[in-house]
A and B are shown apart, each in its own frame.
Chain A
């Protein structure tokens, strides 16, 4: 039999999806449902003078207009409690909710929401991070000092418009710069990127006997539970969250969106309330990838060793802190990244601005932090006249690399193997040689999210296995391929006989959400823990049925057999059936979270992500051609070498690599949200927000390396998030090579390419 782990099996959720039967969050609706729409601020900064809902309340179908007066007076947030449900005195970003209208139909709710008149006195706008950290900048939050951190967090350095600051300052940085032969200094900038999942955000709230139920299509149901309960001032267990099929999230559906509003409005009206964002509303209010400014300086020795580094990052938090309080930790892990650097100084700040709060998008700030790091690495190689790949190999990590947090990476020497592996796909010297062509290379060290998860296995008398887990299947296949195949392998079953569940926070144990490539690694491992107990029970029961000792038995083709005796076998269904009246149904549970990792808490201040768990290693290479007339860029070849520990589903892994690279190409070349001086987004629809289409994306060539890790199921580490991380870096380096000019911004526009072409070769 084909082993369940390491082979490609059909996704069980593909058929309902191709038939149009799958019920997504936007499709879910139960009897008696009312519909709601939010009234949102049309300015980025101002003081609310009045809210007039008389006309709206009189419109057909309208049941309720709710404002801050109808909501608990609570500020809440992911890590910092700085955000109200509805603005009542000041508005801090365009799109901030001010009121909500509930009506019989969605069309009525939206029409009435548009008829609510909000009078706002404009206030000065902090539009950019540069504005936010300028001397005398207006404060986005006058009361920042009074804000409490969310439960379970130590406070961290924050001041004025800086809602989070992380600092690492190793001994001897200035001395190392003074002793360096060459110093190179660069500045890079990145725009925001919209996740642009195809299913807009939605939620349905219900209120029954003092408890809220929220129907969601979301990445992290336990986060909705916590965040909704905190916003509404109830216990987490007073909120039940039930998951449905979801049309993509990519990080944007990790924090709450419409869920607390739908829940509140259900309580206020006594009916289920459903909300769906319109696309433009979704885009303008989405917690997109933050833009940032990165200033990086390195000292080099003549022979091409990096001897000193300074890495300064300002990230745009938007109007509320959200995820960025965590994301300021990422520069600490990227500042040296794949290379040994000598004494290093890092300062990362998240800055409040009067813009939509930013948040997580696959690869988070790593995408632009690596763009800056690897563009800079090219400049370092050029400064000492070395080949860019050779320079990297000269400085690449060895085993036992100590990160800036004091954590030691046992396996960091793998990076060198990954560099060699990508070269086997196409030798570096052969690429980018044609006219107007260039080649780029970049490496990445990325993590596997450590948050815990759990699974309960149920063996059924019909011979099937149900994996009851709160892990969310967001489309990657992490649950329906990864977790399911691991469960099948553990019980010697055909994956076709294994099913997985949808999240329901009343039913399953905590799950840390579909983020940071954690699901296959963490929940897969929880399944292997659960399987230990299940096998024990199965063998005991089967031993009775077969008249053999448990230690003579083995799992075989969805059954249990006596080792070395092909004739003596019972099916797992028979075992489960017999157990039913001999001890009860066969179930077994397991939990897992990455064990605590050793690090030195004195190395950094403000570091909320204190360690970098279960690292993975990546090298990407791209060959591009630029059009000297239009500045257009064609990606001719794209190569990926990725260390995954162990592949569970080859097809699932390839889907994540191809899809992640496509998102990275969009980020590198086309997708942008620009922000005007008024704090408003310039791109407001999918027409102006240019997403990659089929014609843009080459077939990615992949080599997978497998060095199993003890902690992962079958050795698997995280794999799905990182394929996006180095893409902008690689493309930037390839375009710089093709044009000979500096490439310093994401996205790299045709104008940037044409400007770069005006530079003389060698000044890049």
Chain B
């Protein structure tokens, strides 16, 4: 069955059967391996992408339910010239990346958060990422990155 959608601004049509998830389409068909698969249970958030601007766990989303949607992945965060988005740059500057396997998922969740609330409070940032697990950092540097990216004072 053909599936048509927009991924990072480009219209694509791929073969996908009814059991395929959006994550399988992104990683296996479109070779966009920046989006990670941590659990396939909707628990870790590593597979988070934006579907029409809303963060979703792509590992449990039927690919066909994204038909006609705008999907954004971590590969689509930098601008066309390759310049990093503010939250990407802030992750680098604030040491928010250790192993980095959770990073794409956090970046997508936080991109949506900042679009909705340009100056989120710390507690609200923590709540927003409650569906994203990070085993390495203990989360504070990730919160710091959001503060820095939104021009707020970094607590550290």
Contact = CB atoms under 8 A, between A and B. Distances in A.
Nearest to A663: B135
Contacts, number: 171
A148 to B, nearest CB: 37
Nearest to B128: A694
B97 A658 contact: no
A279 interface: yes
Contact of A659 (B33, B43, B93, B98): B98
A18 B98 contact: no
A199 B140 CA distance: 21
B58 interface: no
Contacts of B1: none
Contacts of A19: 34, 74-75, 77-78, 84, 88
B128 to A, nearest CB: 9
B38 interface: yes
B131 to A, nearest CB: 8
Contacts of A11: 92, 95, 97
A349 B135 CA distance: 30
Interface string B114-147: 0000000001011101101111111111110000
Given A27-B33, A659-B137, A699-B140, A14 B102 contact: no
8 contacts: A19-B77, A20-B74, A659-B138, A685-B43, A686-B133, A691-B133, A694-B142, A697-B138
A158 to B, nearest CB: 34
- The interface centre, meaning the residue of B35, B97, B141 with most chain A CB atoms within 10 A of its CB, is B97
B36 interface: yes
A655 B98 contact: yes
Q: How large is the interface on A (under 10, 10 to 19, 20 to 34, 35 or more residues)?
A: 35 or more
Interface of B: 32-41, 43-44, 46, 73-75, 77-78, 84, 88, 91-93, 95, 97-104, 107, 123, 125-127, 129-130, 132-143, 155-156
Interface string A148-176: 00000000000000000000000000000
A694 B33 contact: no
A18 B96 CA distance: 10
A27 B28 CA distance: 10
Interface stretch (A180-188, A244-252, A306-314, A334-342): A244-252
A20 B82 CA distance: 13
A20 B44 contact: no
A700 B100 contact: no
Q: Is the interface of A mostly helix, strand, loop or mixed?
A: loop
A500 to B, nearest CB: 16
A196 B133 CA distance: 10
Which A-B residue pairs are the 9 nearest by beta carbons?
A20-B34, A247-B101, A475-B99, A17-B100, A662-B138, A20-B74, A658-B138, A686-B43, A694-B126
A693 interface: yes
A17 B46 CA distance: 13
Contacts of A686: 39, 41, 43-44, 133
A18 B88 contact: yes
A55 interface: no
Given A15-B84, A26-B36, A686-B41, 16 more contacts: A11-B97, A17-B103, A18-B88, A20-B33, A20-B73, A24-B101, A197-B99, A198-B99, A198-B102, A280-B41, A661-B138, A693-B130, A693-B139, A695-B126, A697-B138, A699-B140
A429 interface: no
A190 to B, nearest CB: 19
A205 interface: no
A475 B130 contact: no
A17 B142 CA distance: 14
Given A18-B84, A20-B32, A695-B130, A655 B141 contact: yes
A278 interface: yes
A474 interface: yes
B95 A655 contact: yes
